[in-house]
Amino acid sequence: MFPRRSIVILASLFLLSAITLTVHQIDKRSPGFIGNLVPSRPGKEGQDEKEIEETTGPCGRGIAWLAKTDLEYPISYAQREIIVHPTPGLERKSMTKITEPLFPQPKQLLLDKESRLELSDCKQEALVLEVPDTPTTPVNASTMHFGMATTLDRLADSTPMIERWLAHTSAKLFVVIITPAANEANKKPQPPTPKQLSARQSELRKRGMDITLLPPLQHDESYTETYFSLIRILHTHRSPGTEWHIVIDDDTFFPSLRALLSTLTPYPADQPHWIGALSETWWSVARYGMMAFGGAGIFLSRALAETLNTYYDTCTGEMHPAAGGDERVMRCIYNHTDVKLTNIPRLHQMDLGGDLSGVYENGRFPLSLHHWKTGRNDYPVDKMSQVSDVCGECFLQRWRFSDNTVLVNGFSIAEYPDGVEGIEWDRPEETWESRTVEESVNEGTWHSLGMGRKALVLGREKVQWRLVDAG
């Protein structure tokens, strides 16, 4: 198969960004890692991005990107172009060993603001990687109806992420727009007007997202009441082809609706199914129960959605006032049906603290991700998953190279100075923090992530560069 031109550029930019970021972090974490100093300057004054690219080739695009960022100079810079070959019959492997280095010498350039990148610095031969032949076009997911409750402002923050998984899929998303809580700046927040809702809705639809914005069913509902009302709202808006009613949070992200749909195939929608994921944290499971945790997505088959709609008023009437949204769904199901949870651990509530690298870098393909914006650690899932446009389910696939470097596609590049041979790659690196349950055998995340391996010391045993941007 011939390499695809567009593919080359995207893959290369992805890499470049990752490495550029690195630089930033290397300075703080491991000053010994920076290589050759080469005089260079990112383009002439006034040169635009296209011009730079024309004169410098693929290297130029990255340089133009660098000039737009506010990274601290000097910047340590490395670049490698990747060409992917979609290979029919090739399975997505958790880790693939490549016998050449990711960055042949010299792999690092140190750029300062006044210097110029030489063309010869970008003359590295492209790397060819074989990837599974998964489609990169949007799937027809018209059988899926999603529902969420959020404010207009939060919806705006999440729009780039929602656009990535929802646009042009024929799946529908119903969003109940709630009024933001009062705060210092806004003591009496007003609900958005119907005009505001319809203006926003048409903006979103113009971008290919089949989104319907709705006011809450009742005035003065609490958030959890609105959340539970999605059961009724999704039922009201169902169409003959709707198979799945899916309740999500505004920060739930789906790397591939295609993969999600095929995961649901074994569960016929005319039978009652409640599908989701337990929290990764045993403590949360012990606290809340065997339920589909909301952030990972709550999947109700058409048959179960029908039953829950019948019990909607009953469940609302008997609801424990402090119950959370996903907990309300659980209470209603356990009290009025004999349906039990189907747990799919590849859906992720991401109920973990600290550095989530160990989850993103475990080589598995996640069906949902959540909490990409945690304040302390941000995970730009919309940028990270752009690499799916190039090679579908290659997102978060891992390749390890002879220079003790591992590429986790779309997330990170890490160097392991003590070598990569002794590392148990099948076990997730326990970089995260999670609560434990006293006297429980389960140390915290076994039921979800499996038994892990000890976290490495960043900057010494593992030098990690995280993706910050892609385009």
The angle formed by the CA atoms of residues 248, 158 and 300, to the nearest 5 degrees, is 10
| Helix residue spans in 97-193 (DSSP H) | 152-166
Among 114, 203, 318, 424, binds ligand NAG (CB under 6 A): 318
Among 92, 145, 331, 370, binds ligand NAG (CB under 6 A): 331
Backbone phi, then psi, for 83, in 5-degree steps?
Answer: -110, 130
Give the residue among 340, 402, 391 at the shortest CA–CA distance from 365: 391
Helix 223-236, helix 302-310: angle, nearest 10: 120
Closer to ligand NAG by Cβ: residue 166 or 347:
166
Q: Coil, strand, or helix at residue 343?
A: strand
Minimum CB distance to ligand NAG, residue 171 (Å): 10
Closer to ligand NAG by Cβ: residue 124 or 142:
142
Give Cα 262 distance to the centre of its chain. 19
Closer to ligand NAG by Cβ: residue 94 or 140:
140
Minimum CB distance to ligand NAG, residue 225 (Å): 15
Strands 432-433 and 244-247: unpaired
Minimum CB distance to ligand NAG, residue 334 (Å): 8
Is residue 313 close enough to count as binding ligand NAG by CB under 6 A?
no
Closer to ligand NAG by Cβ: residue 44 or 205:
205
Residues 6+ apart with CB under 8 A from 236: none
Backbone phi, then psi, for 111, in 5-degree steps?
Answer: -100, 135
Minimum CB distance to ligand NAG, residue 317 (Å): 8
Among 3, 241, 268, 471, binds ligand NAG (CB under 6 A): 241
Q: Which element (helix H / strand E) includes 131?
A: strand 127-132
Closer to ligand NAG by Cβ: residue 69 or 140:
140
Minimum CB distance to ligand NAG, residue 142 (Å): 4
Is residue 302 close enough to count as binding ligand NAG by CB under 6 A?
no
Closer to ligand NAG by Cβ: residue 30 or 337:
337
Is residue 140 close enough to count as binding ligand NAG by CB under 6 A?
yes
By 3-state DSSP, what share of the chain in percent is helix, strand and coil, each rounded to 5?
A: 35, 20, 50
The angle formed by the CA atoms of residues 360, 73 and 417, to the nearest 5 degrees, is 45
Q: Radius of gyration of the chain from Cα atoms? A: 24
Question: What x-and-dash track marks residues 185-224 binding ligand NAG by CB under 6 A?
Answer: ----------------------------------------
What is the C-alpha separation between 307 and 312, in angstroms, rounded? 9
Closer to ligand NAG by Cβ: residue 40 or 229:
229
Minimum CB distance to ligand NAG, residue 227 (Å): 16
Closer to ligand NAG by Cβ: residue 326 or 355:
326
Minimum CB distance to ligand NAG, residue 187 (Å): 36
Q: Which of residues 158-187 bind ligand NAG (CB under 6 A)?
A: 170
Closer to ligand NAG by Cβ: residue 280 or 327:
327
**Inter-residue contact 71 to 23 (CB < 8 Å):** yes
Question: What x-and-dash track marks residues 423-452 binding ligand NAG by CB under 6 A?
Answer: ------------------------------
Is residue 135 close enough to count as binding ligand NAG by CB under 6 A?
no
Is residue 314 close enough to count as binding ligand NAG by CB under 6 A?
yes
Minimum CB distance to ligand NAG, residue 395 (Å): 23
Among 55, 310, 335, 436, binds ligand NAG (CB under 6 A): 335
Minimum CB distance to ligand NAG, residue 222 (Å): 17
What is the C-alpha separation between 309 and 314, in angstroms, rounded? 10
Is residue 307 close enough to count as binding ligand NAG by CB under 6 A?
no
Minimum CB distance to ligand NAG, residue 132 (Å): 24
DSSP assignment letter at 100: S
Give the residue among 61, 257, 43 at the shortest CA–CA distance from 140: 257
Side-chain-side CA neighbours of 390 within 13 Å: the count stands at 33
Number of residues this chain uses to bind ligand NAG (CB under 6 A) = 8
Other C-beta atoms lying within 10 Å of the C-beta of residue 113 = 10
3-state secondary structure 276-323: ECCCCCHHHHHHHCCCCCHHHCEEEEHHHHHHHHHCHHHHHHHCCCCC
Give the residue among 358, 333, 346 at the shortest CA–CA distance from 273: 333
Residues engaged in binding ligand NAG (CB under 6 A): 140, 142, 170, 241, 314, 318, 331, 335
